[in-house]
Copies of this chain bind each other. A is one copy, B any other.
C-alpha cells in the first residue's frame, strides 16, 4: 500500500507540543514504516531548535523517520531581530534547512502530501 504522506506546518512556537503529540499518535496508529512525515517550521517556531527539552523529542522522532525542515529566511530573521540566534551550521544533522519554507509547503502538496496545521 502507498504510504500516508503528510506535512505538518508549524509557524507558532506554542504549537510544537501539539504537533509532536499528533505525529506520535499518527505513527502509533499506522506504524513508522507506513507514513512519510515532514515537519516544516517557519516564522518564530524555529526557536524550538534551541530548546533542549523539545530537541530530545524531535531527535527521537527523527530517528523513527520523521524529517524536520527549517526555513532559512526564518532563521535569519530570528538572528536579526530577537533574543535567540541559531546558526545554521550548529544545527544537528536531523534538521534540514530549506531556502524558503513556503515553497517547500507548496512543493510537497503538489507531490501528494496532505497538509496539517496543528
Cross-chain contact B107 with A4 (CB below 8 angstroms): yes
Nearest Cβ in chain B — how far from A76, in angstroms?
Answer: 10
A26 within 8 A of B: yes
Interface residues of A in 53-110 (CB under 8 A from B): 71, 73, 99-103, 105-107, 109-110
- Chain B residues with Cβ below 8 Å from A100 are 25-26, 28-30
Interface residues of A in 27-57 (CB under 8 A from B): 28-30, 35, 42-43
Cross-chain contact B115 with A114 (CB below 8 angstroms): yes
Cross-chain contact A115 with B118 (CB below 8 angstroms): no
- Chain B residues with Cβ below 8 Å from A29 are 99-100, 102-103
Query: Interface digits, A7-23 against B, CB 8 Å rule (1 contact, 0 not)?
Result: 00101000000100011
- Chain B residues with Cβ below 8 Å from A35 are 106
Interface residue ranges, A against B (CB under 8 Å): 4-6, 9, 11, 18, 22-23, 25-26, 28-30, 35, 42-43, 71, 73, 99-103, 105-107, 109-110, 112, 114-118
